[in-house]
């Protein structure tokens, strides 16, 4: 969450992630149109996970690396949001907030785009897309455009 004041009004953006040295590779990859996840390299584990953490949530190993995800997912669950008072979400309603299961195994929270709510089905095939949500602030203070992963029905999925 970043922001300041403009003319005495708060300009807090609740849709902007706080980036730091650890998450910077994730956000840079997203800006380049690639989805990253983390994978454990500990013997006998190998679990992929998302959201990015510096340790494996399955075995607690710190031997984890960034890995490019395929971008394929299936819809696990969703909700249509009709009201949201936090800026700038109020301007986007209605929208579909969802949890998708990545082909690599982890689930992630996201938004479904380019599909009416009536066309959504549990298990439907999805493909990652990327949305530029505007200028953000890294903790280093350098402003950059923030790009977030969203998902849309995969071509031929019958939405």
pTM listed for this prediction = 0.82
Please tell me the predicted confidence (pLDDT) of residue 140: 42
Band (pLDDT 50/70/90 cuts) for residue 120 is: very high
Work out the widest C-alpha separation in the chain, in whole angstroms.
57
Written as one string, the DSSP assignment of 54-103 is SS-TTT--S-EEEEE--SEEEEEEEEEE----STTGGGT-SEEEEEEEET
Categorize the per-residue pLDDT at 133 as very low, low, confident or very high, splitting at 50, 70 and 90: confident
pLDDT of residue 88: 78
Residue 158 reports pLDDT greater than 70: no
Cβ contact 93:115 at 8 Å? no
- pLDDT confidence of 3, banded at 50, 70, 90? low
pLDDT at 96: 96
pLDDT digits (tens, 9 = 90+) for 64-109: 999 999 999 999 999 999 998 877 777 888 999 999 999 999 999 9
Which class for 148: exposed (0-12), middle (13-18), buried (19 or more C-beta within 10 A)? middle
């Amino acid at each position: 969450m970043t922001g300041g004041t403009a003319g005495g009004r708060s300009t807090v953006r609740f849709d902007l992630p706080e980036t730091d040295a650890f998450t910077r590779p994730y956000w840079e990859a997203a800006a380049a149109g690639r989805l990253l996840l983390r994978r454990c390299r500990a013997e006998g584990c190998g679990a992929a996970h998302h959201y990015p953490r510096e340790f494996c949530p399955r075995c607690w190993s710190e031997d984890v690396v960034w890995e490019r995800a395929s971008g394929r997912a299936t819809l696990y669950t969703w909700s249509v949001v009709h009201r949201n008072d936090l800026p700038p979400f109020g301007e986007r309603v209605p929208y579909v907030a969802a949890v998708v299961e990545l082909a690599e195994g982890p689930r992630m929270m996201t938004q479904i785009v380019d599909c009416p709510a009536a066309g959504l089905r549990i298990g439907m095939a999805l493909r990652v897309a990327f949305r530029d949500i505007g200028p953000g602030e890294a903790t280093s203070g350098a402003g950059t455009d923030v790009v977030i992963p969203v998902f849309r029905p995969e071509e031929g999925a019958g939405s």
